[in-house]
């Protein structure tokens, strides 16, 4: 049941690394789309947890994910509108969406404590990898100062998510 935990997060690093290693520097519109997609993925996962979990702690965590990721995505949409930039779909955002759909299907088959543990374990892995991609790839590749600042703000928030997920995971054992 845990064999695919973190596959969404791994897809972000692998796909981004592959694109960068082939000299295909990510553009700001591509970075914006990747960041927005990553947020949407976590919102969908959190909404699934709100529907399936019986754990008060897991539900509180999921509510925080919805609140925080929706707020950051709202800021991102406002920024791209202000800058008159259209986020650009790309291999990384497509891979993220595909992996997320598979993960949601996998989690959807679980119930009770098995769901809670798998959801939170995925959240830990997902935030670790997304945070790493933000630090090492997305923020350094962003050329627009306002986009870079938004990504840096998101990174600080998402590092808190990672720590919170680790705490919840420890409590579920």
pTM: 0.85
Question: Which pLDDT score is estimated for 69?
Answer: 93
Say which residues have a Cβ less than 8 Å from residue 143's Cβ, sequence separation at least 6: 28
User: Rounded to an integer, what is the distance from CA 60 to the centroid of its chain?
Assistant: 18
pLDDT at 9 over 70: no
Q: What is the mean pLDDT of residues 100-113?
A: 95
Which has the minimum average pLDDT: 9-13, 30-34, 151-155?
A: 9-13
Instruction: Give the number of other Cβ atoms within 10 Å of residue 173's Cβ.
Output: 5
Angle 145-172/28-52 helices, nearest 10 degrees? 30
Question: Which pLDDT score is estimated for 24?
Answer: 62
Contact (Cβ atoms closer than 8 angstroms) between residue 94 and residue 35: no
Nearest residue to 95 via CA among 6, 3, 15 = 15
Residue 140 backbone zone (phi > 0: left; psi -120 to 50: alpha; other: beta): alpha
Residue 25 carries which DSSP code?
P
Cα angle 129, 79, 157; round to 5: 35
Question: Which pLDDT score is estimated for 92?
Answer: 87
pLDDT band at 158 (very low <50, low <70, confident <90, very high): very high
Residue 109 backbone zone (phi > 0: left; psi -120 to 50: alpha; other: beta): alpha
Question: Which pLDDT score is estimated for 83?
Answer: 86
How far apart CA 27 and CA 4 sit, in angstroms, is 29
How far apart CA 42 and CA 49 sit, in angstroms, is 10
pLDDT at 129 over 70: yes
The domains of the chain are located at: 7-172
Residue 147 carries which DSSP code?
H
- CATH classification of 7-172 is 3.40.309.10, yes or no? no
Residue 33 tokens read as: 């789309």
pLDDT band at 48 (very low <50, low <70, confident <90, very high): very high
Taking all residues of the chain, what is their mean pLDDT, rounded to a whole number?
87
pLDDT at 7 over 70: no
For the stretch 49-85, pLDDT in tens is: 999 999 999 999 999 999 999 999 999 999 989 988 8
């Amino acid at each position: 049941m845990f064999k695919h935990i973190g596959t969404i997060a791994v897809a972000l690093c692998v796909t981004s690394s592959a694109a960068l290693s082939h000299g295909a520097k990510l553009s700001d519109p591509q970075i914006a789309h990747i960041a927005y997609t990553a947020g949407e993925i976590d919102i969908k996962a959190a909404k699934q947890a709100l529907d399936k979990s019986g754990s008060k702690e897991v539900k509180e965590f999921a509510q925080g994910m919805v609140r925080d990721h929706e707020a950051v995505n709202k800021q991102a949409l406002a920024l791209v509108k202000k800058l008159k930039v259209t986020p650009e779909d790309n291999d990384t955002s497509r891979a993220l969406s595909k992996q997320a759909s598979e993960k949601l299907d996998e989690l959807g088959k679980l119930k009770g404590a098995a769901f809670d543990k798998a959801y939170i374990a995925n959240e830990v892995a997902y935030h670790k990898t997304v945070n790493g991609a933000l630090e090492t790839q997305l923020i350094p590749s962003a050329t627009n100062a306002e986009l870079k600042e938004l990504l840096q703000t998101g990174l600080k928030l998402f590092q808190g998510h990672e720590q919170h997920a680790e705490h919840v995971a420890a409590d579920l054992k």
